Structure 1
Amino acid sequence: MRLLLKRRYTPRGTPGRLFLGNRQLCFIREAPKSCYDPDVHCLEEGVYELEPVHTEEEGWRIRVGERGWIRSRPPDHSPEKEELCPVTAYRADGTPLFTRLAFLKLLDELSSVWERGEVIELQVVSVGIPYVLESCRQPSYS
């Protein structure tokens, strides 16, 4: 099974939508692209295998490839480096709503697939970058 993350880049963050086929599962928020902040940046575009991970300290989270994570973050905490944070909806001012609920719904959706022994992949694509920074000019896919 393959999920699709369609996102766009902004200097303050990388908002996106996570799809299973034509159905949107949730919104995703990430840190900005590396050209905006090389220390805390979003996951690179590509295809990654997803794997559930549980620890006593952090509870459930989802490993994305070798470096990234999908995990719940409170609305007042920004996503960290290579971290995807599910969101159910946004307020008019851009504040994320129901972040924990979005993560739990996503985990519930994917758990039955993992229980059947299937591999789940995440494909990350983006719309073009409207900024003129030379470091941000990299191929994008829509």
Structure 2
Amino acid sequence: MRLVLHRKYKATVTLGRLLLGKKQVCFTQEPPKACFGKHIACLDEGVYELDDSLGQPPQRPKFGIKEGVYKLDPIHSEERGWEIGIADIGKFASYPWNQPLESNRIYPVTSYRADGTPLFTKLAFLKLMERLEREWERGEIVELQIVSEPVPYLLKSCLEQSYC
């Protein structure tokens, strides 16, 4: 099974739509692309595989995820509860209300207010986790492919190849 994340970069946030086939699973929110000069960054385009091996959360790398296909797997910790690991590079996680967004994290969102505030984030994460659990129980390999629209204006740092 392959999920496809179509996203659009903004200066302060990266917004996206997570699709399974032609059906939208949820919206997503991520930190901005590294070229915007922020200290946090989103995952790079690519394909990531999701698997069902449980274990300790992977170490966070100092760089972002490059283009490619990546495997997803469920991860549980006492501190954060359930998350979905993207290879050993990033995670799908519940939205961190009253905390800053973290690098290499994708936050599922059900919808947005007019001002851009995400709504029903816990619900979106639980629905995504439930959908993926069914696939893992059947022995399916789950992959995530990330596709991004180019930055809509010329920002020199965004024109260079980025490995956020």
With structure 1 as the length reference, what TM-score do the two structures score? Answer: 0.92
Shift of 1:8: 0.6
Q: Write the distance in 2 (CA, Å) between the matches of 1:83 and 1:56.
A: 18
Question: 1:64 and 2:70 equivalent?
Answer: no
1:90 and 2:112 matched: yes
Aligned to 2:10: 10
Equivalents in 2 of 1:90, 1:12: separation in Å?
16
Aligned to 2:150: 128
In structure 2, do the counterparts of structure 1 residues 78 and 70 end up closer, same or farther at CA, with 3 Å as the change threshold?
Answer: same
Runs of 4+ in structure 1 over 6 Å off? none
AA of the residue aligned to 2:47: V
Match of 1:104 among 99, 102, 126: 126
Structure 2 unaligned segments of length 5 or more: list them.
49-70
Which amino acid is 2:23 matched to?
A: R
- Report the equivalent of 1:40: 40
Distance 1:77 1:25 in 2: 25
For the aligned residue pairs, the C-alpha RMSD in angstroms reads: 1.5
Matched, 1:117 2:117: no
**After alignment, is 64-73 or 74-83 more displaced?**
74-83
- Report sequence identity in percent: 52
Partner Cα separation in structure 1 for residue 156 and residue 76 of structure 2 = 40
Query: What's the CA shift for 1:81?
Result: 0.3
Pick closer, same or farther for the CA change 1:99–1:46 going to 2, 3 Å.
Answer: same
Q: Label 1:25 to 1:32 Cα distance change in 2 as closer, same or farther (>3 A).
A: same
1:27 match = 27
SS of the equivalent of 1:81 reads: coil
TM-score by length of 2: 0.80
**Which shifted more, 71-80 or 38-47?**
71-80
* Count of residue correspondences: 139
Which amino acid in the other structure matches residue 89 of structure 2?
R
The answer to whether the 8 Å contact 1:75/1:96 transfers is no
Q: Is the 8 A contact 1:28 1:86 kept in 2?
A: yes
Residues 23 and 77 of structure 1, relative CA distance in 2, 3 Å threshold: farther
The answer to whether the aligner puts 1:52 opposite 2:86 as a matched pair is no
User: Structure 2 CA distance, aligned partners of 1:138 and 1:112?
Assistant: 40
